[in-house]
Structure 1
Amino acid sequence: MKDQLLTVALAQIAPVWLNKVQTLKKIENTIEEAALKKAELIVFGEALLPGYPFWVELTNGAKFNSSIQKEIHAHYAQNAIVIEKGDLDSVCELAEKHRMAMYLGIIERPLDRGGHSLYASLVYISEMGEIKSVHRKLQPTYEERLTWSPGDGNGLLVHPLKAFTVGGLNCWENWMPLPRAALYGQGENLHISVWPGSDYNTKDITRFIARESRSYVISVSSLMRKEDFPKATPHLDEILKKAPDILGNGGSCIAGPDGEWVLEPVLNTEGLLIETLDFNRVLQERQNFDPVGHYSRPDVTQLHVNRKRQSTVRFESE
């Protein structure tokens, strides 16, 4: 029955903001630390690599043709992740080395969309070190739309992990009923929610999704404090003028399949949070409610999901 238990690590850490190389090193060190604690799954926050675009709200990001916005955005793009060029190879190698699955929030600059636009993507890496899904955030929120592009349904996938079936969504996607249902319908019973860093988000919806789905829900948020902005950041003085002391306070937490806390939101603490989850609790709570099983009516309501990876061009060869 060892497959019934899963040790998970919630990595509540700050990025080395907008610095891909240094943030990757911090992620790698955190993985090594989680391995010492026998973690079998580690989860990092939304857009952790290389960081959330806090500058947009702080520097009049909607001003058209602003040189400040163009220069910071270009710096962001230079530090974004191009998976096709092997930017995540070192993380995959650590996953294989330690037999540890991972969910990692990245800013992706994918070649299949031309290699210039940015996407907030949630990457699942299996315990064999293989990238199994890259879910591009379906709808960036508010000011995020000034720097991130909308994704597609290609990454709405779940993955086997011991007795569990895991799936995940980015930030406010977790409020979208139909993407949640798309994961439930594939048998998800361990739901991963990644956030840029706030208990304002995690304290309510984590328990709500757990109660709705009768699944475990892991919410992981990053940290971001005024002192976490590197001095080499373009236009740092402009960013810091209106920046509060704390931009992301964490709030990482876990709810059980009954909607009650396994781990209450943890604030302003950097490091790993470790818990062991028992799959049998999922079966206990599905006894009285299962949203896609015995408590569903597919003859009345069904969801259609388009999982094709979208692209501007399609080539046909003889």
Structure 2
Amino acid sequence: MRVAAAQARSPWLDAAAGAAKVMDFLQRAAADNVDLVAFPETFLSGYPFWVEQTDGARFDDPDQKRAYAAYLDAAVELDGPELRMIVEAVRDLKVFTYLGITERVRGTVYCTLAAISPADAIVSAHRKLMPTHEERLVWGIGDGHGLRTHQVGGLAVGGLICWENWMPLARHALYAQGEDLHVSVWPGSSRLTGDITRFIALEGRVYSLAAGALFSYADIPTDFPFHDQLAERASRYDGGSAIAGPDGQWIAPPVSGEERLVTADIDPAAVRAERHNFDPTGHYARADVLRLHIDRRRLDTAEFID
């Protein structure tokens, strides 16, 4: 089975152009016989880079409100035209896809990881359980509905978003479903992926694939409220996509600064071999002492009964 991280620059706050970029990388993946490809966190339509740099917590600031409105307008819906086009491409190209999106639900944006199957379209939409630090000023808090694994090429595959990969119980929820390949998606930085990618591989005895994006503040549209304040800043977002084996060794070390597919051929037998001496939710677990309760209901603020 061949897997890949799509390390690329996405047109920021331009959903149509971002979807076209996804389509381009899906075609590249199919041409390279890739079975599964992962795109970075909020690849469509962009990470909220401005908040940290512009005093984003200032209450009732008109520029911050206009920035959020622009971000909300650029977000996509699960049944919107961009996702419909991508679902069709996944079906035609037969490449299972994890895609980080900014998901719009009424007046709220969620940081969501959509799993798209060639046979069954969107099979899960995992909303980030807890946005990190300044992200809480922009994204809603997710739920456990997307804590699911999917069968791809004989492997159970699951995914988490950015720093929730550091949440032990979130990882455990996927390991407990027999996860063989763990996908982590990031805004894009080798300083973020260098440690956790190998740690997850060792802890779960899984293949661990990290997908990160490239970004320059020069990519911010000129009509965005903080364009002039941000355009000249140096970006730390250099990609960092990487793949580690279930023994914790690099198959593809973090890649910096290059726009390309980061690929690897993986073997389910290697996962089974590494579980000889450690299986965190199997023979090395103590269900009589430690157990995890997982609520996978999709949470909403209203229930209508007619």
Instruction: Using structure 1 for the length normalisation, give the TM-score.
Output: 0.94
Q: Which residue of 2 aligns with 1:256?
A: 245
Gapped regions of structure 2 (runs ≥ 5): none
- Note if 1:226 corresponds to 2:214: no
Q: When the two structures are aligned, how many residues end up with a matched partner?
A: 306
Q: How does 1:1-318 map to 2 (within 5 A)?
A: 6-110=1-105, 115-128=106-119, 130-240=121-231, 243-244=233-234, 246-317=235-306
Letter in 2 for 1:301: L
Asked if the contact 1:95/1:129 (under 8 Å) is kept, the reply is no
Instruction: Using structure 2 for the length normalisation, give the TM-score.
Output: 0.97
- Give the CA RMSD over aligned residues: 1.2
Gapped regions of structure 1 (runs ≥ 5): 1-5
Measure, in 2, the Cα distance between the counterparts of 1:85 and 1:19. Answer: 14
**What SS does structure 1 have at the residue aligned with 2:215?**
strand
- By how many angstroms is 1:297 displaced? 1.0
- By how many angstroms is 1:232 displaced? 4.0
Measure, in 2, the Cα distance between the counterparts of 1:149 and 1:239. Answer: 24
Asked if the contact 1:100/1:126 (under 8 Å) is kept, the reply is yes
**What SS does structure 1 have at the residue aligned with 2:79?**
helix
- By how many angstroms is 1:33 displaced? 1.3
Using the aligned pairs only, state the percent identity: 45
Q: What are the superposed Cα offsets for residues 191-234 of structure 1, whole Å, 9 maximum, x if unpaired?
A: 00000011111000111110000000000101112332233434
Q: What are the superposed Cα offsets for residues 235-275 of structure 1, whole Å, 9 maximum, x if unpaired?
A: 3112335x22x231111001100011011000011111121
Letter in 1 for 2:160: L
**What SS does structure 2 have at the residue aligned with 1:182?**
helix
- By how many angstroms is 1:35 displaced? 1.1
**What SS does structure 2 have at the residue aligned with 1:104?**
strand
Q: What are the superposed Cα offsets for residues 81-134 of structure 1, whole Å, 9 maximum, x if unpaired?
A: 111334301111111101110000000012xxxx11010000000122510000
**What SS does structure 2 have at the residue aligned with 1:124?**
strand
Q: What are the superposed Cα offsets for residues 36-63 of structure 1, whole Å, 9 maximum, x if unpaired?
A: 1111111000011111100001111011
Q: Deviating runs (4+, > 2 A) in structure 1? A: 84-87, 226-235, 238-241
- By how many angstroms is 1:72 displaced? 1.1
**What SS does structure 1 have at the residue aligned with 2:171?**
helix
Letter in 2 for 1:34: A
Asked if the contact 2:206/2:271 (under 8 Å) is kept, the reply is yes
Q: Which residue of 2 aligns with 1:3?
A: none
